[in-house]
Each structure stands twice: as C-alpha cells, then as structure tokens.
Amino acid sequence: MTRVHIALLPRDGLFCKDGRGWFTSASGRGHGLEWPWPSTILGALRTAWGRAEEDRANVCFDPGDWLTRTAPIELGRMIALRRPHGAPWATEHLTWPAPLDAVWFEGEQEIQRLDPQQPKLPTLGRDEDEAREALWAPSLIRTEKPGKLPIWLSHADLVAWLTGQALRAPGQESLALARRLQVHVGIRGEELTADEGVLFSHDVVETLEPRAEWAIGVEVCLPGEALPAVATVGSDARPIRIESLPKALFDPPEELLTAFHLGSVGLRMVVATPACFARGWLPDGLIEQGSQYRGQLADLGEVVLRAAFIPRPIHISGWDMAAAAPKTTARMVGTGAVYFFERADGRPFKETDARALWLAALGARTNEGFGRVVPGVWNPTRSNQ
C-alpha cells in the first residue's frame, strides 16, 4: 500500500446532494451539502483509481471486481483548503469548520468563548441519566440573540482559538462558499418541447472565487499505481483536478504544541469531520460511572467528559455503485462539535497528547475519513457553590 497526500480541485463547482428528496421544498429543487462527506470523497477516489486500473489492464471490471480491487483503498486525514490563484500549497491555506464553543453579538469587536460551567439546575429531559444531568453547560450573561458566525475559519483563527486567544468579530471578508442554482431541461426530439420528467434544478457550491480557489486535501492509501490527474466527484460527476500536497500540511501547528508545552488542565476537542459513535453523541469508550462519563479516549488514558456542545445530528447515506442501491443511513455528530475533558487522575494534557490528537480518528468508519478531531487547551472554571 502507498500512502499519498493529494488535493482535489473542483473545476466546475460541487453538487453533493443531501438526504432530502427533490421536491421537499416549495421551490422544488435538490439541496446540496456545504462540503462533501468523507465517504463521497472516498467513492470518487475509488472510482478514479479503478478506471485507471481498467485502462492499465485493458479490462472492464464487473461489480464484484470493483468491490474486490478497490476495497483496500482507505481515506485517512481530510482537510479543507483555500489558496490564492497560482500560489503553492502552504499551511496557511488550511480552512476549518467553526467550533460551537464560540458566540458573537452584533456590535462586539471580538468573538466570545463559550466555556462550560457546572450545572446549577436540572434539564427538562427525562431524569434517567445521572451522568448526562451532571454535564457542564454553557453559560451566557447576555440575553439578546447572538449574531451569525461564519461557517469556516482560517487556519490562523482556528489555531488562535484552540490556544486560548481571542478572535476578532466576523467581517465582510468572512470565509464562505457561494451557491448558484443549476437548472436541467430535457427536450423531446420529435416535438422540440420540454420533457417534464427531465426538468429539475439543484444547488451548486462554487469553489472558484475571483481571487482564490477551494480544494479538498486528503491522505489516502492506494494499492499500487497512482491516481490519474483528472477525476469526478459528486452527484452529477463534476470534474476535479488532482494535485500532490506537502505532507507537512497534515502536521500539528507549532503554536498549538507550544500552548500545551506547560500543560493544560483540561482538553477541548473539536470535531473536524463527521463522527460516527455507537451511542450517538457520546464518544466510543466512555461509559456512565455514577454521575460521570468516564473511559479511555485514544491514547490519553482514562478521561472524564465534562461537557459536550453538539449540533443537530446529521444523517449520512450515499449510493452504492456496485450494488446499484442506496447505502444504509447513518446518524453522526456534525463538524464543529466540541467535547471538554479532564483526566481522571488529574494530570494535565501535554504536548505529546496534542500531537497524538491532531487529526486523530475516533469512533467507527475511520477508514472512510470520518471521526477526525483536533485538540485545544481548556482551563475549567468551577463554581464555589
């Protein structure tokens, strides 16, 4: 197996359909994802490698051959990238989903940190899980509605956030992917009229900007020969160009390692790609022990989960090309989710822990690129009451 690091550059936008039907809104159109799921990227890479292998062997694979020959291909770490046109890839081009432990109020110059606090009142949920009731919750002094945060953060901003620094308020230069509406029309040749059965529209996420371009960075294991220079991705097989990437782009930033050098009492863990856990929102390895969720997390030893800021679950499916049938839908934790931990024995988290957790894989389906996380420092604030 050969491990390679590549960038996938969509040349005509992206359309990766979400789980909603074609006519689930008044507009009667298909809805596209903001960013492709890792399983979609893995499928595109397997298709590109398999077609190149067919050309090399001068054969046409049947569905069984496709499954057998492409099964060893695995997707590792996955990152989003955005660079100025013509610039070589560099660390500052990394782009990240914004974490959920941030809040901003209009008129403020900085984004506020949403630190968890020990609970003072029970929740309105069913009183059947003592450990869940004991989880710390975010506490806001202000009562007005927060402003809208950007979906994406630059690499510099995310590293600053993970190391405990303040962030400036979002401005007009906030990172965002533009969308446009693509209309498809079928024509009846004998009548030269529109075929209503082939009349539909859907979102297209634009990845080319006047001054920059977006790309998908991946680490992939391949059995043998390299990938072709051009491939396709998404629901309507839009073209992508494949370029090599420096391996250093997947390494932890020095600023983060420095922040952990003296030790951090707590650990903030941000989900960078959707995570698949057996118990829904709760990371694998953690179980209820009295009023706490405790267990083994990666190679950190025994940890205690103090808080979890989780978005609404996402439902991930897809199309099985070999079986010509939809895949089973999985319910996963969305990107930007933040978990807060302390070690059970009270030891701080050090530089070696941060290095091991950077883009580490947690949960199930990690060979498809799911469950990638990044660490940050956290100093818990305990109530005196």
Per-residue pLDDT of 47-85, as tens digits, reads: 999 898 888 888 888 888 888 888 899 999 999 999 999
State which of 199, 228, 250 marks the end of a domain.
250
Q: What is the pTM of this model?
A: 0.91
Number of CB atoms found within 10 A of residue 107's CB: 8
- Residues 31 and 81 both lie in one domain: yes
User: Is pLDDT of 162 > 90?
Assistant: yes
Residues 6+ apart with CB under 8 A from 282: 293, 305, 308
pLDDT at 58: 87
What's the pLDDT band for 16 if we cut at 50, 70, 90? confident
Tokens 């969720």 map to which residue? 293
pLDDT at 226: 81
pLDDT at 126: 66
- Residues 233 and 180 both lie in one domain: yes
Contact 32, 206 (CB under 8 A): no
Domain count, the chain: 2
pLDDT at 385: 45
The pLDDT tens digits for 186-222 are 888 787 777 776 777 888 899 999 999 999 999 999 9
Residue 210 falls inside a structural domain? yes
pLDDT at 275: 96
- Residues 6 and 48 both lie in one domain: yes
The pLDDT tens digits for 329-368 are 899 999 999 999 999 999 999 999 999 999 999 999 999 9
What's the pLDDT band for 153 if we cut at 50, 70, 90? very high
pLDDT at 313: 93
Q: Strands across the sheet with 266-271, in order?
A: 286-289, 292-296, 302-309, 338-343, 266-271, 372-378, 360-361
pLDDT at 172: 64
User: Is pLDDT of 24 > 70?
Assistant: no
Mean pLDDT of the chain: 88
Q: Are strands 292-296 and 302-309 parallel, antiparallel or unpaired?
A: antiparallel
User: Is pLDDT of 142 > 90?
Assistant: no
pLDDT at 91: 95
Domain range holding 334?
108-147+252-378
State which of 202, 226, 250 marks the end of a domain.
250
Residue 284 falls inside a structural domain? yes
Residue 208 falls inside a structural domain? yes
- Reduce the DSSP state of residue 111 to 3 states and report it: strand
Could you give the CA distance from residue 373 to residue 359 in angstroms, rounded to a whole number? 5
Assigned token pair, 103: 């809040």
Could you give the CA distance from residue 68 to residue 374 in angstroms, rounded to a whole number? 33
Residue 34 falls inside a structural domain? yes
